[in-house]
Structure 1
Amino acid sequence: MTIRLYLDEDSMDKALVQALRARGVDVLTALETGMVEREDQDHLDFATTQGRVVYSFNVGDFYRLHSIYLAEGKSHTGIVLARQQHYSVGEQMRRLLRLIASTRAGEMTNRVEFLSTWG
């Protein structure tokens, strides 16, 4: 199954969402799902119930949540993290597309990927 993305409120740039959708990527945003101003754990739990991989610029908090989930035996459907204002919209899109093209959704379970790896 192909990776489906969930962009939290930090990463949900309209141009990025449009670019990904134009290339056939299934994307939902925090705004579209009524999840704006929610806790990071709420975003991760929502994405997991929807079978989606979280994409966020909130590196520290989501990596910490990932570690807590693993320690508690909880599962999530994957997290992709990037440094905010480090990549153009085009570069984010290209790197996310590389990840999606080479990784199946099931392979993202309980996994954190850094956008920097996919350059």
Structure 2
Amino acid sequence: MKFLADESVDRPIVERLRQEGHQVLYIAELKPGIPDDAVLNLANQETALLLTTDKDFGELVFRQRLHMHGVILIRLAGVTPVRKAELVALAVREHLSELPRSFAVIMPGIFRVRRVSE
């Protein structure tokens, strides 16, 4: 699967997904500091699922109804970066088919996915 990781995403998450064979583009390596709507546009251009810790993407998707290929919101405050990477990789493995065209949220012990219609 192809992902675009927002610069807010911990590097161990990016590295772990790459190790598992996913293509992961990383805003921190490509275009640090670009606005959220540009990040979402880039994810769409790349046909990539967006990984982020920024709740503002919910606003862009649900209130502004901007197009998206898929968003995974990582809400794992207080969890070590290595453990976050494990939890994200596990969620991706277990729910890969549900992720396109969905807004998913990963929290400790919880995975929620909401299909987004256009």
Q: Are 2:61 and 1:66 aligned?
A: yes
Runs of 5+ unmatched residues, structure 2? 113-118
| Paired position in structure 1 for 2:38 | 42
Aligned residue for 2:62, secondary structure, equals helix
CA distance in 2, matches of 1:84, 1:10: 12
Runs of 5+ unmatched residues, structure 1? none
The answer to which structure, 1 or 2, has the higher relative contact order (CA under 8 A, 6+ apart) is: 1
CA-based RMSD: 1.9
> Displacement, 1:29?
0.4
Deviations 1:59-112 (A, max 9, x none): 2x1100002443xxx522111112142542212221122222x33xxx623x21
| Paired position in structure 2 for 1:14 | 11
| TM-score, normalised relative to structure 2 | 0.76
| Paired position in structure 2 for 1:76 | 68
| TM-score, normalised relative to structure 1 | 0.76
Between Structure 1 and Structure 2, the one with more strand by share is 2
Count of aligned pairs: 105
Over 6 Å off, 4+ runs: none
